[in-house]
């Protein structure tokens, strides 16, 4: 998948690689409160990162948000949750319109999250790792006073290593299981997922969060997969060695995050299930959406504060 690489930065003309820190030769747009609209969907794990980070940092008052519905067709995500099925700020029925407003011949994927320039109604970027990175580094002047330090300097290198593995073996790994085209590809992806899950179970058995005693971007990135695991990935994507609820440390950790302001209130299990079980017709041709699992367990005491 190719993304629009543009960045929104505090200083015009400056753009840095979110991982290496070096200057990048990509177009930049300037940070300006009220100018941009985050288009997301509660169903999508990649978009959920941006929803959570925006909430944690207190950027709701400077970056507006529009939410697409949980199902889409091959053309685009649609604003079918809004009155008259139109985004009230952009006036669009589909996210596709923002991409075509900027690139009339755009033929790449229409994905969430996407930042849209409200005055021109054009897509700015849908490069999801950069969006949350820039929410932290470039929009700092607009964070709430007690916003968490999602990218702490003292563990940055270690955090990058953890996030790389979480992305390749867990975030993306469940998709490689679900869309494997052969038994061999599935077996390899399955083994990588569960090797990583066992590594996480061990890591989280002796520390509260991925990087110790504080929430970082690494936790946000892992949470969006964990919160979908039993409801979708366990059965729909055949990641069924065991359920999340059967892993003591990870299940406690996931509940800890879910109950932290900024996380659980952004989750909609019904939308999550409708997205995967309806859109993925090749995996679930009948489009039947399961009624379970019961989400009540997410509110049970987690006991993680002892760590």
* Per-residue pLDDT at 149 exceeds 90: yes
DSSP SS3 for 40: strand
> 11 pLDDT band (50/70/90 cuts)?
confident
DSSP SS3 for 151: coil
Classify domain 7-142 by CATH number. 3.40.30.10
**177 assigned to active site:** no
* Per-residue pLDDT at 116 exceeds 80: yes
pLDDT for 15 equals: 63
pLDDT for 24 equals: 66
Q: What is the mean pLDDT of the chain?
A: 95
Q: Which residues pair with 78 in a beta bridge?
A: 94
Residue among 36, 44, 92, 239 flagged as catalytic: 44
Per-domain boundaries in the chain: 7-142, 153-306
What pLDDT, in 10s, does the model give residues 57-69? 999 999 999 999 9
* Per-residue pLDDT at 20 exceeds 80: no
What's the mean pLDDT in 45-60? 98
148 φ, ψ (degrees, to nearest 5): -70, 155
pTM score: 0.96
**36 assigned to active site:** no
Residue among 3, 106, 155, 175 flagged as catalytic: 175
Rounded distance between C-alpha atoms, residue 224 and residue 50, angstroms: 10
Q: Which residues pair with 65 in a beta bridge?
A: 38
> 21 pLDDT band (50/70/90 cuts)?
low
What pLDDT, in 10s, does the model give residues 80-114? 999 999 999 999 999 999 999 999 999 888 999 99
Does the 153-306 domain belong in CATH 1.20.1050.10?
A: yes
Rounded distance between C-alpha atoms, residue 226 and residue 254, angstroms: 7
């Amino acid at each position: 998948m190719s993304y629009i690489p543009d960045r929104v930065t505090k200083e015009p003309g400056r753009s840095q690689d979110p991982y290496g820190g070096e200057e990048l030769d990509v177009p930049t747009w300037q940070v300006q409160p009220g100018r941009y609209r985050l288009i997301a969907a509660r169903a999508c794990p990649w978009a959920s990162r941006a929803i959570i980070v925006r909430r944690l940092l207190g950027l709701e008052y400077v970056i507006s948000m529009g939410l697409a519905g949980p199902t889409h067709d091959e053309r685009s995500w649609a604003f079918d949750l809004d009155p008259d099925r139109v985004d009230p700020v952009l006036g669009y029925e589909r996210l596709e319109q923002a991409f075509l407003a900027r690139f009339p011949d755009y033929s790449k994927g229409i994905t969430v999250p996407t930042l849209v320039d409200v005055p021109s109604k054009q897509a700015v970027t849908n490069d999801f790792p950069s969006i949350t990175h820039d929410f932290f580094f470039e929009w700092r002047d607009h964070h709430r006073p007690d916003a968490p330090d999602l990218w702490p300097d003292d563990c940055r290198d270690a955090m990058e290593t953890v996030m790389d593995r979480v992305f390749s073996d867990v975030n993306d790994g469940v998709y490689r299981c679900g869309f494997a085209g052969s038994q061999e590809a599935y077996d390899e992806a399955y083994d990588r997922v569960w090797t990583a899950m066992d590594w996480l179970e061990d890591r989280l058995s002796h520390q509260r969060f991925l990087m110790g005693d504080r929430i970082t971007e690494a936790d946000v990135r892992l949470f969006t997969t964990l919160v979908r695991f039993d409801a979708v990935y366990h059965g729909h994507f055949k990641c069924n060695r065991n359920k999340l609820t059967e892993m003591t440390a990870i299940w406690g950790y996931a509940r800890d995050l879910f109950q932290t302001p900024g996380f659980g209130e952004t989750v909609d299990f019904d939308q999550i299930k409708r997205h995967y079980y309806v859109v993925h017709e090749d995996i679930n041709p009948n489009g039947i959406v399961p009624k379970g699992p019961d989400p009540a367990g997410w509110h049970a005491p987690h006991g993680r504060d002892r760590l």
